Structure 1
Amino acid sequence: MRLDDIRQEQALYIRRRARLSRAIRAVLLLVLAAALCAANALGNRYFEVTVYQMQSSRVREGFRIALLSDLHNQEYGAGNYGLIEAVRQARPDLILLAGDMVNQDEEDLHVVLDLCGGLKRIAPVFYILGNHEGVLLYEKGGGDGGEALDTQLIQLGIPVLYSGCEELVIHGNPVTLGVFPWPASQAEELDPAEVQRLEGGSGFRIMASHYPSIFYETLFDADADLAVAGHYHGGQVRLPFVGGLYHVDDGLFPRYSGGQYALGRAQLVVSRGLGGHTWVPRVNNRPELVMIDVLPSGKEG
């Protein structure tokens, strides 16, 4: 065989090996991507419990708050037994539902009513309205083709907080819970008198809203201790060292997509939510049940 023929054979062999190597790498990448998608989808079928801590000089004895948001009719077991049991085991003293527990395009309310029926046996529950509840209540007449969602919740013994302040006592601590149910785009709806009432509370002060954006500027410097919100679903896709990627209200990299943040005077805790209402899957962003431990100043949990 001539030298040129040998060289051509070797070149063909090298090209075949290179094509085979590229094909194997492509198949491996596809298998890896499929495995990651499957693992992500499987992981999103379960929630995790996130515990945050804060200290306050307005607290004499510590207490725990459970924060649930953005369930969107998701069920973790029959009657949401898995979620109810996780809350029970966490032993909260107060349970806040921060809105969008339902879907605006689903009038069957049994999921949220079953959940609230279980939660009220654990600790006092307060329901704060989100945008999906707003559509059901004010545009579609309530849900189930019969009594409105808020009416059914109240009949169940669940206080529905539309706005304004509630005075509570938890383990001997006076607590003022202020509800401000507007996003930043509707900040003009906020009643300054209710902010003053919150700030005039003698004890621990909580600001609650479905929308994190109300804390960007409008309530950033309010004299409170804790603020809670949801709505952003963790930014749907969580990027390492960056946080949430996107929400339609706020665009790319929403400021408070999920976690604990320092406001002017208060600590803000934003839940990443327990469900979803979009075709975009959660990525690196498992649903979460939030617990907030409020401790006296100088005391570690």
Structure 2
Amino acid sequence: MKKLLKIILLIVGVYVFLYVNNHWIVITERTYESEKIPKSFEGFRITQVSDLHDALFGENQKKLIEKVRNTKPDAIFITGDLIDSNRYDLEQSLTAVRGFVEIADVYYVIGNHEVAINQVDEIYDALQKLGVHILPNAAIWLERGGEKIAVAGIEDPLNGADTQIMLNTAMAHVPKEFFTALLAHRPEKFDIYTKNEIDLVFAGHAHGGQIRIPLVGGLIAPGQGFFPEYTAGFYEENQTTMNVNRGLGNSGAPFRIFNFPEIVVVELKAK
């Protein structure tokens, strides 16, 4: 009887551990400071949501929407894999986006899963109807107090396009002297972002390494293999800083281990 009770407790314990690891959304706050940020953008808050993969957080995504609302964003960036190509459920993800657009302006780029499902046009159309700013190798200006910054986005290279060519298109009309935030799904292209002197990059894709080993980091990430270099947090080289979001959902591997779903807030500071 005691042996059976221990087995039951072990099963319950594993279930609770996995549930918490995959449903407990954490908010990570970071500050980015630069001389290129105009004074009118001092304190501007960007909330980044990435790699939802059609995951569900509360009834009608209420838990996720409230978490985003509580970050008090001035802008919301969605950096790809809003849907999952293995269990495509666009409506479930759109439920979250409907909540986001009521909070702040939303900007979006696709990830590899949108390309893989071959539904990019459908997804773009649905998001534009909700008022989302899509950035398919394009840039848009944000203005405050007569000053402005650029927000650019590139599509995922799974579409067959070269990352440098996509960047050239997106940045064609953005002078170097203006601060630029780039939405780009893949962190493993950091060397290209650095070469182009992009100021601040928002990326996802790595899922935090899926399993995070304490004191070591992520175990595996698509495009980077085992013990990947770019899985979470700020990475800096020369004039470029890249923020990698651990994401919210899963694809392929069903569980996150020591790797809570994450929403990242980056607050801009004028140096």
CA deviation after TM superposition for structure 1 residue 202, in Å: 4.3
Give the 3-state SS of the residue equivalent to 2:23 in structure 1: coil
Identity among equivalent positions (%) equals 30
The superposition leaves residues 58-114 of structure 1 with CA deviations (integer Å, 9 ceiling, x where unpaired) of 221220100000111111112211111111111111100001011113343112211
Pair 1:79 & 2:60 matched = yes
Match of 2:128 among 146, 150, 154: 154
CA contact (8 A) 1:168 1:177 kept: yes
CA contact (8 A) 2:154 2:184 kept: yes
- Structure 2: gaps of 5 or more residues: none
- Structure 1: gaps of 5 or more residues: 1-23
Mapped to 2, the partners of 1:236 and 1:30 lie a distance apart of: 27
Pair 1:203 & 2:178 matched = yes
CA contact (8 A) 1:235 1:247 kept: yes
Pair 1:52 & 2:30 matched = yes
- Please identify, of 164-173 and 29-38, the stretch whose mean Cα deviation from structure 2 is larger: 29-38
The superposition leaves residues 150-201 of structure 1 with CA deviations (integer Å, 9 ceiling, x where unpaired) of 1111112112211122222256541112223345996735326336537615
Mapped to 2, the partners of 1:122 and 1:115 lie a distance apart of: 11
Determine which structure has more spread, i.e. the larger CA radius of gyration: 1
Match of 1:135 among 91, 94, 116: 116
C-alpha spacing 1:184/1:111, structure 2 compared with 1 (3 Å): closer
Match of 1:70 in 2: 51
Pair 1:257 & 2:257 matched = no
Mapped to 2, the partners of 1:274 and 1:172 lie a distance apart of: 36
The superposition leaves residues 32-55 of structure 1 with CA deviations (integer Å, 9 ceiling, x where unpaired) of 797356324323222100111110
Give the 3-state SS of the residue equivalent to 2:192 in structure 1: coil
Give the 3-state SS of the residue equivalent to 2:77 in structure 1: strand
Aligned residues: 264
CA contact (8 A) 2:75 2:104 kept: yes
Q: TM-score, normalised by structure 1?
A: 0.78
Pair 1:214 & 2:168 matched = no
Match of 1:88 in 2: 69
CA contact (8 A) 1:128 1:179 kept: yes
C-alpha spacing 1:77/1:117, structure 2 compared with 1 (3 Å): same
The alignment yields a C-alpha RMSD, in angstroms, of 2.8
C-alpha spacing 1:35/1:97, structure 2 compared with 1 (3 Å): same
Mapped to 2, the partners of 1:125 and 1:33 lie a distance apart of: 41
Mapped to 1, the partners of 2:229 and 2:216 lie a distance apart of: 10
Pair 1:230 & 2:208 matched = no
CA contact (8 A) 2:141 2:148 kept: yes
